[in-house]
Structures are given as C-alpha cells and as structure tokens.
Structure 1
Amino acid sequence: MDSKADFEPWPEAPAHPGQGAAGRAAAAADPAPGGGKYVASSVRGAAKILVVGPLGVGKTTLIGTVSEIKPLFTEAVMTRAGAAVDTPAQSTKTTTTVALDFGRITIDEDLVLYLFGTPGQHRFLPAWRDLAKGALGALALIDPRDVAASFDALGHLEDLDLPFAVAVNVFPDSPQHTEDELRMALDLLPGTPLVRCDARDGTSSNQALIALVRHLILAATESP
C-alpha cells in the first residue's frame, strides 16, 4: 500500500489567527462538537495515544483543539532556573507542561482515542516513559523552525518500539521545507506518515490523528 496516497501527507495547513496561550485558551473553551461527558454507547474500542514533541511545539494546543471533553492541562509558569535549559523556538512562551495533558476524541461511532500529551523537556523522560505504557501509538509534533529539537522525541519512540506518525505544526514564521527534506532530516522510514497541520485548527489536527490511526491499522494488519 502506498502510504503517500493513503494519508495525503502534505496538504497545506489552514490559516488561523490564534497563537500561544491565547490560542490554547480558546481551543479549550471550544471542544470538538458532538462530544459529551460520557463515551457514546456505540463505541466498542478505545486506544491510548501519546502526543509528543519538544518544548513549545504545540502538544497542549492540539489536545485542547480536538478534545470533545474539557481537557486536563498541567501547565506551570516557566522559571528563571529553567531558562538555561528550556529554550523553545517560540521565545514568548511562558508556561510548560510538567506532568501531562489529557483529552478525548471520538474518531467514529466505534473508536475513541484518549490523548496523553507528554512534557517536552529531557529531564521529564521518566514520566514520559511511564505515560507510554499501554499506548498503541504516538503523534509526534515537529516545529519546522527547529527540526533538530524533535530528534530526542523520535528516538524515544523508536526505543519504545511505538508506531508513530509525524505532524509538522506550521507556525506563521515557519520556513518552507519539502516533504523529502524533512524525511531526510528526521531519518523517517518510508512508511511513516508525514503530514502538515496547524495545532490550532480542529480539521487539520483531526486529519493528523486520522493519519496515525490508519498507520496503526495498517501496521496491525501487516503484522504476522
């Protein structure tokens, strides 16, 4: 099966006026339509999915955008003590996830995804690995302004042998990279989905998660 044809890997991300903490707050206040407090009775399956990536890449924003329930965020104000080691590409970032982010999205009538966002800093790796227990796969967010910052997260996923898709979160000042350039820079296997998204846009973020689910289904059906 041709992964490029199936996942439509390089659509243009829709424009969106929100950004940073304001965008996260707006997303959290406007959860995905159709969601309720309880999972629909038609749902027969659930999957734990990690949302990973470096500091400031948009993990909290994406979960807040797509979650059909009020998401759980564990953000704390960034301190001077961490300034020397916490260097997001977005220099105006003032808060950071210190435990996890959590949200829920119903993909179709049968399947619910429970989304667990991981802290971005290397010092939180023990918590990161604990969150990975029981996960079926991961969506790895990439900041095209600092591609190298994502190497650790992708390496951790490979060490855990956890299937993943890569979503390039497009910022207003993002440089333009081709798909081939990013695949080479990230050393991705040919079958790894690579999509472009805007974590502030529900449709774009949902498509990234759908690409991951399709990848997981394909991997499961091809397993001996």
Structure 2
Amino acid sequence: MTPTDPAARGTAVRTAVVRPPLPVKLVVAGGFGVGKTTTVGSISEIEPLTTEAAITEVAAGVDDLSHTPRKTTTTVAMDFGCITIDPTLKLYLFGTPGQDRFGFMWDDLVEGAIGALVIVDTRRLDDCYAAVDYFEDKEIPFAVAVNAFDGEVEHTLDEVRWALDVSVEVPVTVFDARERGSVRDALLVVMELALARTEA
C-alpha cells in the first residue's frame, strides 16, 4: 500500500488526531468527616489513593466525632483519584485533609487546580467556613455541595447559602457522596463554573 492510497491517507489522518486527554485538576475540600474520601472513591476509575490513619484517643479528643460516631479513620495528607470525562478530558481529583492542623498542606494540593467542590454537612456548617474562606481568598472557582447524609439535609439550600455567606455566583447544590452519578453531577457543576470563568 503506497502513501497515495486513499485508505493509507485515511489511517494517517485518524492517527494524527488521536491525542491523550487533557489533564485537569480539581480539589475536593470541606471539614472533617463531610465525605471527601467517599466522594473521590465513588467516582474514581482507579483504586483511589488515600492517606487514612486510625483515629486515636488523642485525635478523638481534638476532632468532633459526635456526628460521625462510626468514623474510625481520617485523611492525614490527601485523597487522589481520576475519572475520564470524555476522550479529550481527564479529571484528577485531590481531596484535602479536613482538620485545621493539616491546613498547611492546602497550598500544595490546590496549586494548578481549575476549581473546587466544597462539601458541606448541614449538621455542622461551622466546619466548612475555613474551606469557603480559603477558595474565596485564592479567587479559585468553587461550588458548595451539601452531602445528603442518610438521604436528608437539615437546612434548605437558601439557608446554607445565607449561613456560609457565599455570593450568588457560587453554585449551591445537594448530592450524595456515595452515588457515582450524583458525584459526577456535582463535579460537572464545578467544571461548568471554571469554564465560564475562563471564557469571561
């Protein structure tokens, strides 16, 4: 088969346009025990990398376990997973540690991210203020996702927006960190927000 053969030229064209998907970084953040590790694990197409450590008696005295009594481990560095959105785009997810004492790691984890999903537990909204303030200060696009623990949320989305004092440009939605489709939809909200910011 010669290079002038139409079939050969078609193969060459198809080969030329095949490129690896564009890597995009997104951060999953929030307070202690809100579901960050579960979120990453629910959607990652690879076995997620987690840095879970057992909660010791000392840590239990520091971290509020009253709303997460069955929680026995905690993220001490990060969670990592990835998902191919389509042949042109691959999303890399970095979950932050939730405790304030690991806050010094956030700058490194967030570097290069196009946006963030801030997960909220409506039973303890105070735990999410630090994450909201962080992304507002860094001017990184973010969406607030209320994790529906046991299928319920204790406050309406308008009440959550008011309590967190986020602008109308910040999407506030409900999702279930255990459900792959629900996590996908929440992440797409962040992607659309980041794209709109870029186009603007």
How far did 1:161 drift? 1.8
Query: Is the strand fraction higher in 1 or 2?
Result: 2
Higher alpha-carbon deviation: 141-150 or 80-89 = 80-89
- Specify which structure has the higher proportion of helix: 2
Identity, % of aligned pairs?
Answer: 46
Partners of 1:43 and 1:182 lie apart in 2 by: 40
Q: Is the 8 A contact 2:31 2:99 kept in 1?
A: yes
State yes or no: 1:47 paired with 2:3. no
RMSD after superposition = 1.4
Selected match of 2:99 from 104, 121, 141: 121
1:205 matches 2:187: no
Q: Tell whether 2:195 aligns with 1:217.
A: yes
Q: Is the Cα–Cα contact under 8 Å of residues 145 and 174 in structure 1 kept in the other structure?
A: no
Instruction: Decide whether the 8 Å contact of 2:81 with 2:93 is kept in 1.
Output: yes
Q: Which residue of 2 aligns with 1:190?
A: 168
Structure 1 CA distance for aligned equivalents of residues 45 and 21 of structure 2: 18
- TM-score normalised by length of structure 2: 0.86
The answer to whether residue 53 in structure 2 is matched with residue 99 in structure 1 is: no
Displacement, 1:91? 2.1
The alpha carbon displacement at 1:156 in A equals 1.3
Contact 1:144 1:174 in 2 (8 A): no
Of structures 1 and 2, the one with the larger relative CO (CA 8 A, separation 6+) is 1
Q: Which runs of 5+ in 2 are unaligned?
A: 1-17
Equivalent of residue 137 in structure 2, options 139, 159, 176: 159
Displacement after TM superposition at 1:176 (Å): 3.3
> In structure 1, what residue type is equivalent to 2:176?
D
8 Å contact from structure 1 (residues 105, 113) kept in 2: yes
The one-letter amino acid paired with 1:76 is: A
Match of 1:84 in 2: 61
- Deviation of 1:43 (Å): 4.2
Q: Which position in structure 1 is the counterpart of 2:3? A: none
- CA distance in structure 2 between the partners assigned to 1:181 and 1:175 by the alignment: 11
User: What corresponds to 1:75 in structure 2?
Assistant: 52
**SS at the partner of 2:86?**
coil
Amino acid at match of 2:51: T
CA contact (8 A) 1:71 1:103 kept: yes
Cα separation, 2, equivalents of 1:221 and 1:81: 48
Gaps of 5+ in 1: 1-40
For residues 58-83 of structure 1, what are the alpha-carbon distances to aligned partners after superposition, in whole Å with 9 as ceiling and x for unaligned? 00001000001111011000011112
What is the aligned partner in structure 1 of residue 14 from structure 2?
none
DSSP 3-state at the match of 1:107: strand
